[in-house]
């Protein structure tokens, strides 16, 4: 009996292609956790290795450039968490994983938990900048929540002593890593905030791995930082480390030392500011003093110009100056006329016109009397004007008013008493009269008499 002819016959290539399509369709993306083995990175930049556990292993490939983006150095025995697709290398018929992401196993899980909690708290507004408060410019008392034996507290206290020794610092000891650390840190933060003792709370610790810093990613601690009534400054780990407590804090600092510098001012800076303020104060005082002196001088000049004696003296000086100019003008004119007369007299004497000479002599005599008459009239008019001004000034002078029987009454503070209601019995008053003053005491006050015309 002859063997039957098979219906479907595959070549190795066809079989491998079919198997690859089935694998890729069944496992388009899969996470695998295992230990690295046979790690190789050829000059092409691709990464080849095995992922294994105690019973089996699978061949893996991670092609460039994804292999160059890894945040860690792959090495034998390192436990990793990888993501990729299952496929089959057709040329050899080997089953393998082609990876697009890989991370250290323990840190990767924590990182995913960190990202999920961060997204949830951010959606609730726990990290909003609007709820964060500025730090006080000059904190008098600071509570430092940290390990009392770590390097962070030594750095913080050193900065405080160097920059601002006057600040009071309380070290509030807590464990900063371990299973119970988050709960103790939260309790200490809430107690310090409720005490109302501190102007600023500084939550800090030194660097470490993600696992070491995980206590500061606790949800209860993060919410306590956000709800604190006292401003909170958080500095956890190094500059590249970030924790949820730092996102919720009012201020995040890259290191504990920088946090201490941000919390307190520098005494050197304060001294420079004080010197600058003192210089500005002196300059302002000098400027205002000069302005006050200038105002005083101008007021004095205006006051002197308004005094009756000053005005009378000014008028007298003006009158004397006018009379001097008038007399000088008349003398010059008289000299010119005399010169003309002398010239005419010489001419007349040369031609002997006796009658004309007589008229010229009469004219000269009349001109000689004219300046004196004009000066006399001008002096008389100015004297009358001056007497009028003196009478006007005397009419409004307080001294003349006192001379007519009036008085000026002042109280003990020097204020003028204008009404009987401005004083009361027993009050001491000063009464100023035209020829002296009186010191009196009020016995009683009386209202003005009623008007007789009032019905």
Name the CA dihedral angle for 419, 422, 425, 426, rounded to a multiple of 10 degrees. -120
Whole-prediction pTM value? 0.45
Tell me what pLDDT residue 454 has: 43
Tell me what pLDDT residue 354 has: 62
Q: What tens digit of pLDDT does each residue of 229-250 get? A: 999 999 987 777 788 899 999 9
DSSP label of 140: S
Which of 154-163, 343-352, 415-424 has the weakest average pLDDT?
A: 343-352
pLDDT band at 40 (very low <50, low <70, confident <90, very high): very high
The secondary structure of 160-210 as a DSSP string is HHHH-TTSEEEEEE---SSTTHHHHHHHHHHHHHHHT--SEEEEEE----T
Tell me what pLDDT residue 418 has: 81
Q: What tens digit of pLDDT does each residue of 399-450 get? A: 667 667 778 888 888 788 888 777 888 888 888 887 788 888 888 887 776 5
**Of the candidates 430, 433, 455, which has an alpha carbon nearest to the alpha carbon of residue 442?**
430
Which of 85-89, 215-219, 303-307 has the weakest average pLDDT?
A: 303-307
Q: Are 49 and 74 in contact (CB under 8 A)?
A: yes
The secondary structure of 385-433 as a DSSP string is HHHHHHHHHHHH-HHHHHHTT--EEE-TTS-B--SGGG--TT-EEEEEE
Rg (CA), the chain: 55
pLDDT band at 223 (very low <50, low <70, confident <90, very high): very high
51 to 19, 29, 84, 283, 337: CA distances (angstroms): 21, 16, 12, 78, 140
pLDDT band at 453 (very low <50, low <70, confident <90, very high): very low
Task: Say how far apart CA 193 and CA 181 lie, in whole Å.
Answer: 18
Topology alike, domains 12-110 and 131-265:
no
Tell me what pLDDT residue 399 has: 66
pLDDT at 258 over 60: yes
pLDDT band at 200 (very low <50, low <70, confident <90, very high): very high
Which of 48-57, 70-79, 270-279, 398-407 has the weakest average pLDDT?
A: 398-407
Tell me what pLDDT residue 370 has: 64
Q: What tens digit of pLDDT does each residue of 87-102 get? A: 888 888 888 999 999 8
Q: Is 437 helix (H, G, I), strand (E, B) or coil?
A: strand
- Average pLDDT of the segment spanning 376-386: 76
Tell me what pLDDT residue 210 has: 74
Q: Would you put residue 136 in left (φ > 0), alpha (ψ -120 to 50) or beta? A: beta
Tell me what pLDDT residue 433 has: 83
Locate tokens 């997204």: which residue? 119
Q: What are phi and psi of 393, to 5 degrees?
A: -65, -40
The percentage of the chain sitting over the pLDDT mark of 90, rounded to a whole number, equals 20
Tell me what pLDDT residue 250 has: 92
238 to 113, 203, 204, 208, 405: CA distances (angstroms): 21, 14, 11, 8, 94
CATH architecture assignment, domain 131-265? 3-Layer(aba) Sandwich (3.40)
- Average pLDDT of the segment spanning 46-56: 91
CATH value of 12-110 in 3.30.499.10, 3.40.50.300, 2.40.50.140, 3.40.1180.10: 2.40.50.140
Pair type for strands 57-62 and 94-104: parallel
Tell me what pLDDT residue 343 has: 76
Task: Say how far apart CA 228 and CA 132 lie, in whole Å.
Answer: 10
Task: Say how far apart CA 101 and CA 84 lie, in whole Å.
Answer: 7
pLDDT at 386 over 90: no
Task: Say how far apart CA 218 and CA 236 lie, in whole Å.
Answer: 13
Residue 47: other Cβ atoms inside 10 A: 22
Tell me what pLDDT residue 198 has: 93
Tell me what pLDDT residue 12 has: 81
Q: What tens digit of pLDDT does each residue of 307-342 get? A: 667 677 777 888 888 888 888 888 888 888 788 877
Q: Which of 6-15, 22-31, 160-169: highest mean pLDDT?
A: 160-169
Task: Say how far apart CA 420 and CA 408 lie, in whole Å.
Answer: 13
Mean residue pLDDT of the chain comes to: 82
Sheet architecture: strand order including 436-441: 408-410, 428-433, 436-441
- Average pLDDT of the segment spanning 381-391: 75
Tell me what pLDDT residue 224 has: 92
Tell me what pLDDT residue 144 has: 94
pLDDT band at 189 (very low <50, low <70, confident <90, very high): very high
Q: Are 232 and 247 in contact (CB under 8 A)?
A: no
Q: What are phi and psi of 29, to 5 degrees?
A: -155, 130
Instruction: Tell me the domain boundaries of the chain.
Output: 12-110, 131-265, 308-396, 401-441
């Amino acid at each position: 009996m002859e063997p039957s002819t098979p219906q479907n016959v595959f070549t190795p290539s066809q079989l491998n292609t079919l198997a690859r399509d089935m694998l890729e369709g069944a496992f388009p993306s899969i996470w695998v956790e295992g230990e690295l083995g046979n790690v190789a990175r050829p000059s092409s930049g691709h990464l080849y290795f095995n992922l294994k556990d105690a019973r089996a292993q699978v061949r893996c490939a991670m092609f460039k450039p994804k292999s160059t983006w890894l945040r860690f150095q792959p090495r034998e025995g390192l436990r990793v968490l990888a993501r990729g697709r299952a496929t089959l290398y057709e040329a050899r018929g080997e089953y393998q994983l082609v990876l697009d992401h890989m991370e250290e196993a323990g840190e990767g899980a924590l990182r995913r938990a960190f990202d999920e909690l961060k997204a949830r708290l951010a959606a609730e507004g726990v990290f909003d900048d609007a709820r964060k408060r500025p730090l006080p410019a000059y904190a008098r008392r600071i509570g430092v929540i940290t390990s009392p034996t770590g390097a962070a507290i030594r750095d913080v206290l050193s900065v405080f002593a160097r920059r601002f020794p006057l600040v009071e610092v309380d070290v509030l000891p807590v464990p900063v890593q371990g299973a119970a650390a988050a709960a103790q840190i939260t309790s200490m933060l809430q107690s310090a905030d409720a005490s109302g003792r501190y102007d600023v709370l500084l939550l800090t610790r030194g660097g470490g791995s993600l696992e070491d810093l995980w206590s500061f990613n606790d949800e209860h601690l993060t919410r306590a930082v956000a709800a604190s009534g006292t401003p909170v400054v958080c500095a956890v780990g190094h500059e590249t480390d970030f924790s949820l407590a730092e996102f919720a804090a009012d201020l995040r600092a890259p290191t504990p030392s920088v946090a201490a510098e941000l919390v307190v001012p520098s005494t050197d800076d304060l001294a420079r500011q004080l010197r600058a303020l003192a210089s500005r104060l002196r300059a302002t005082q000098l400027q205002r003093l000069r302005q006050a002196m200038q105002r005083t001088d101008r007021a004095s000049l205006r006051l002197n110009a308004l005094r009756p004696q000053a005005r009378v003296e000014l008028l007298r000086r003006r009158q004397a100056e006018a009379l001097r100019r008038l007399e000088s003008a008349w003398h010059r004119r008289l000299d010119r006329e005399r010169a003309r007369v002398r010239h005419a007299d010489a001419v007349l004497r040369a031609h002997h016109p006796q009658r004309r000479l007589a008229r010229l002599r009469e004219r000269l005599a009349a001109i000689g009397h004219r300046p004196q008459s004009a000066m006399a009239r001008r002096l008389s008019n100015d004297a009358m004007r001056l007497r009028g001004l003196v009478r006007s000034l005397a009419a409004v002078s307080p001294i003349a008013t006192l001379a007519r029987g009036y008085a000026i009454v002042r109280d003990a503070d020097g204020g003028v008493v204008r009404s009987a209601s401005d004083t009361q019995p027993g009050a001491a008053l000063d009464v100023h009269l035209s020829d002296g003053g009186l010191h009196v005491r009020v016995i009683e006050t009386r209202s003005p008499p009623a008007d007789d015309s009032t019905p």
